Amino acid sequence: MNVAAALKAIIPEVAADATQPRLRIKDVRLEYEMAGGKKVVAIDRISIDVPDNEFAVIVGPSGCGKSSLLYLVAGLAEPSEGDILLGDSMVDGPGADRGMVFQSYTLFPWLTVRENVEFGLKRRKVPPQEREDIVNRYLNETGLAAFHDAYPKQLSGGMMQRVAIARALANDPKILLMDEPFGALDSQTRSTMQKLLLRVWEQHQKTVLFVTHDIDEAILLGDRIYVMTARPGRLKQEIRVPIPRPRSLDMVMDPEFIAVKRQILELLRNEIKDDEH
């Protein structure tokens, strides 16, 4: 038995956390089969390790496989090759250990804000009193307490995304998967939501995998940014964001911020050129 295995036998959670990055995407390839049997390679051998509690951001040209990659981690699709591990368990289907927030609003329209946030807890049969405490806590943290009885159709886009975030967090997932969650919001609301997300991320120490095409957003939020190539999506470059936290959009004119932005724009520009030839 090696050291990790020995440790794991004694203190399973601690050992798993201490020895392995939270999320490991290993040599993952994804092919879609089109009508007529033709295969399209959406993702071509991507490997990414996201350490515990890290905020990882994926950027890349449209159609490069960002959403597909998130679906794979969510267990909503299966890789054609390669493996995805969360801690030391292999992803082989959806699970409550991954919380998802997508760009399109995915709330249950027939449930109130409170019931939406409570949904996963109820399904997992968390006792009513505990459930209520958890729900109240996340409603407060996301600024939704006054709206707990509202239905999704009564809410603005930003408020709906708050509910989606609260709902994801209420399940205490190991990782949050976010696919352009603020992409449909106006810039003022987006900025408010970015601040809110940073606050809850710092408070709850979650691992996050976040997709965006907004480069300022990527630099504002991410510890690391993974730049993908045009389809078939490969990992073009991994950039560690050297900007200290707390961060704010006031920093967009700082030389460090501009340097990272220039680097990403350059990488993406080359991708679009390659695609045209």
Using CB under 6 A as the criterion, which residues of the chain lie in contact with ligand ADP when the complex forms?
32, 34, 40, 42, 60, 62-68, 231
Cβ distance 22 to 175 under 8 Å? yes
Instruction: Provide the minimum distance between the beta carbon of 134 and Mg ion in the complex, in angstroms, as a whole number.
Output: 31
Phi, psi of 200 (to 5 degrees): -70, -35
Contact residue for Mg ion among 67, 106, 136, 191 (CB under 5 A): 67
Structure tokens at 130: 């505990």
SS3 call for 106: coil
CB of 13 to Mg ion, least distance (A): 33
Q: Is 183 in the site for Mg ion (CB under 5 A)?
A: no
Contact of residue 99 among ligand ADP, Mg ion, none (CB under 5-8 Å per partner type)? none
State the minimum distance, in angstroms, from the CB of residue 94 to ligand ADP. Answer: 16
Strand order in the sheet with 23-33: 39-50, 23-33, 81-86, 89-90
Partner whose footprint covers residue 113, from ligand ADP, Mg ion, none (CB < 5 to 8 Å by kind): none
Quick one: 45 or 204, whose CB is closer to ligand ADP?
A: 45
Token look-up 């680097």 returns 263
Which of ligand ADP, Mg ion, none does residue 63 bind to, with CB < 5 to 8 Å depending on kind? ligand ADP
Q: Which CB, 67 or 80, lies closer to Mg ion?
A: 67
Contact range with Mg ion by CB under 5 A, out of 60-68, 73-81, 194-202, 255-263 = 60-68
Residues 6+ apart with CB under 8 A from 51: 21, 22, 207
Report, in Å, the least distance between residue 77 CB and ligand ADP: 8
Which helix H or strand E contains 27, and what residues bound it?
A: strand 23-33
Question: How far apart are CB 134 and ligand ADP at their closest, in Å?
Answer: 32
Residues linked to residue 90 through DSSP beta bridges, in sequence order: 85
Specify the residue, 24 or 231, whose C-beta has the smaller distance to ligand ADP.
Answer: 231
Q: Please state, in angstroms and rounded to a whole number, the distance separating the CA atoms of residues 77 and 26.
A: 15
**According to the binding rule CB under 5 A, does residue 184 interact with Mg ion?**
no
Q: In the complex with Mg ion, which residue's Cβ is closer, 104 or 270?
A: 104
**162: enclosing H helix or E strand:** helix 157-170
Q: Which does 112 bind (CB under 5 to 8 A by kind): Mg ion, ligand ADP, none?
A: none
- Phi, then psi, of 125 in degrees rounded to 5: 60, 40
Q: Taking the CB of residue 245, how many other CB atoms lie within 10 A of it?
A: 10
Nearer to ligand ADP, 60 or 87 (CB): 60
d(CA 73, CA 138): 24
Q: Which residues contribute to the site for Mg ion (CB under 5 A)?
A: 66-67
